Amino acid sequence: MPPLLSVAQFLERVKPNEPFIPQNDDGELDEARIETALTGATGVIVAHLPWLLDKGTGEIARPVNPQFADVLDAICVDITVDRMSDVISGSENTRNKYKESLALLEKINKEYQGGLEGPGYESASVVVSGEGGIDDCRFFKKGGVY
C-alpha cells in the first residue's frame, strides 16, 4: 500500500537538518528509510481507521475525505518522526506527539463510527418488530433518528 505522504511531502512538513532525518553513508538523504517509515506510519493509521481502505483495491481511497485529510497528514508525519527517532535523537516531545496522534486516531474512529458528519452514516442498531422480523432501517446519528 502506498503511504499517505510522499518523501517530498514529508520533508516539506519538517525542519531541514533535523537529527532524526536519516542519511546514508555519503551524508545524503536516505529516502528509502523515510519511505519505509512513511509506509509503517500509514499502516498504523489504517489499523486504527480501517474504513479509509477502498473495499475493491484494499488501498487507501483517494482522495481522502477533506474532513480528515489534513489531520491524517499531520499524524502521518508525527508517527514517521517517531519511527525514525532513536533513543539518542528522540525526545520526550516526539514520544508525546506519537501518543497524542494515536489518541486522536482513536477519537476520529469513535466519532466516525458514532456518526460524525462526513464520510457517511453508520447503522447504530437494527430494530426488529413482531414475529415477521421487519427491520427498521433507520440510521441513528448523534442521538437523533434520520
- 90 backbone dihedrals φ, ψ, rounded to 5°: -75, 155
Q: What is the pLDDT of residue 20?
A: 77
Among 63-72, 86-95, 121-130, where is mean pLDDT lowest?
121-130
Residue with cell 497528514: 73
Residue 141 above 70 pLDDT?
Answer: no
Element (H, E) at 70: helix 66-84
- Domain residue ranges of the chain, discontinuous segments joined by +: 7-114
Cell reading at 103: 489518541
Per the model's pLDDT, the better-predicted residue between 38 and 16 turns out to be: 38
Average pLDDT, the chain: 77
Residue 7 above 80 pLDDT?
Answer: yes
Per the model's pLDDT, the better-predicted residue between 36 and 64 turns out to be: 36
Full-prediction pTM beyond 0.75? no
Cell reading at 23: 542519511
- 65 backbone dihedrals φ, ψ, rounded to 5°: -50, 130
Per the model's pLDDT, the better-predicted residue between 64 and 76 turns out to be: 76
